[in-house]
């Protein structure tokens, strides 16, 4: 018996039976063909009878109403979810645009050659960039300035151990190695520091590891008390002796200030006290060629750009964390209110 095409697909594609197909093309249907055709006709007839029955139509309407009620109930709790173009016209108030890339700020050296080198150092309540200043010390030749500042934040354990400075916020007193010392407020201390700095012609602040820490803490504090403009008018910029000594002495095991003073000058001093630090750093700085250190200088604008870049970098890390996590906005998930239930 010949089958010009599959019975499965012939029944699917044609509305008339396989028996009629064979009769039309002149073939004699076999016994299996007739049986299959009759069974298929019976199945289609039963399906048609069921679909045209009143009970079936009522059940179909009932299921449609149940789906509508279910969707309406879900939309009350979660908002519209099943409409055409859903989400394309609804504003998303909690969606934020990821900012564009930012460039790393460049260090631009100071353009003046005739400057005064003023060595300065800070002691703070900790090592974070938001730490409070507890001591400012500067020296330029024989001129010196030293001031203890009462902080608003508590001293960290590491800072107390390193500087030997303790603060009692209850009594408002400061102690150095157990002995009480005089202190002033941060605003008064910064104001006295600027008044002293104005007495120096074209000062450049020299500090060890100043680019990453001391200069940033100083500029943050001056900005907090609206003294940054005054500081710009009386200071040319900074020099980081850490970068300078790394290029001058390439075979050192350590570039900490205390180790450099010991290895190069053969001396020991009271480290982590700002006044002792600036006196030792000035002697070490004058031991080499100070004029060559100008290439390792940077302006106040460079520090402000570096602070801005540091804040933007934190924002990028936060956005990157969000991007790597499953996201759901408030429009997609809303806590149901009592009047909507």
Query: Where in the chain are the domains?
Result: 1-52, 116-150+185-298
Class of domain 116-150+185-298: alpha beta
pLDDT for position 192: 96
pLDDT average, residue stretch 255-266: 91
Backbone angles phi, psi at 192, to 5 degrees: -65, -35
pLDDT > 70 in the chain, percent: 78
Strand partners for 167: 174
Whole-model pTM: value is 0.65
pLDDT band at 16 (very low <50, low <70, confident <90, very high): low
CA-based nearest residue to 119, from 314, 316, 261, 322: 261
pLDDT of residue 335: 46
Distance CA 290, CA 189 (A): 28
pLDDT value of position 112: 79
Q: Which of 218, 208, 211, 217 is nearest to 272 (CA)?
A: 208
Give the mean model confidence (pLDDT) for residues 107-123.
89
- The pLDDT score that the predictor gives to residue 258 is 92
pLDDT value for 252: 87
Reported as a pLDDT band with limits 50, 70 and 90, residue 91 is low
How confident is the model over 188-215, as pLDDT tens digits?
999 999 999 999 999 999 999 999 999 9
């Amino acid at each position: 018996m010949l089958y010009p095409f599959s019975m499965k697909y012939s029944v699917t594609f044609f509305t008339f039976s396989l028996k009629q197909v064979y009769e039309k093309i002149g073939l004699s249907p076999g016994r299996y063909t007739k049986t299959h055709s009759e069974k298929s006709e019976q199945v289609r007839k039963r399906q048609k009878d069921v679909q045209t029955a009143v009970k079936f139509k009522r059940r179909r309407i009932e299921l449609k109403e149940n789906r509508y009620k279910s969707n309406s109930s879900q939309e009350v709790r979660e908002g519209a979810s099943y409409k055409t173009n859903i989400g394309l016209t609804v504003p998303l108030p909690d969606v934020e645009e990821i900012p564009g890339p930012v460039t790393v700020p460049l260090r631009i050296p100071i353009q003046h050659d005739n400057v005064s080198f003023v060595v300065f150092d800070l002691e703070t309540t900790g090592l974070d960039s938001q730490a409070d200043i507890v001591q400012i010390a500067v020296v330029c030749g024989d001129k010196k300035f030293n001031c203890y500042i009462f902080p608003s934040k508590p001293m960290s354990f590491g800072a107390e151990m390193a500087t030997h400075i303790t603060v009692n916020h209850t009594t408002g007193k400061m102690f150095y190695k157990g002995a009480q010392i005089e202190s002033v407020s941060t605003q008064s201390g910064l104001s006295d520091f600027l008044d002293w700095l104005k007495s120096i012609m074209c000062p450049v602040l020299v500090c060890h590891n100043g680019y990453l820490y001391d200069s940033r803490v100083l500029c943050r504090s001056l900005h907090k008390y609206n003294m940054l403009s005054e500081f710009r008018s009386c200071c040319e910029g900074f020099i980081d002796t850490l970068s300078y000594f790394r290029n001058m002495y390439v075979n050192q095991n350590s570039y900490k200030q205390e180790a450099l003073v010991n290895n190069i000058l053969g001396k020991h001093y009271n480290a982590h006290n700002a006044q002792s630090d600036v006196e030792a750093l000035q002697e070490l700085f004058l031991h080499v060629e100070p004029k060559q250190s100008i290439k390792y200088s940077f302006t106040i604008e460079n520090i402000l750009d570096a602070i801005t870049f540091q804040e933007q970098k934190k924002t990028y890390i936060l956005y990157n964390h969000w991007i790597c996590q499953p996201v759901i906005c408030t429009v997609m998930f809303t806590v149901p209110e009592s009047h909507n239930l």
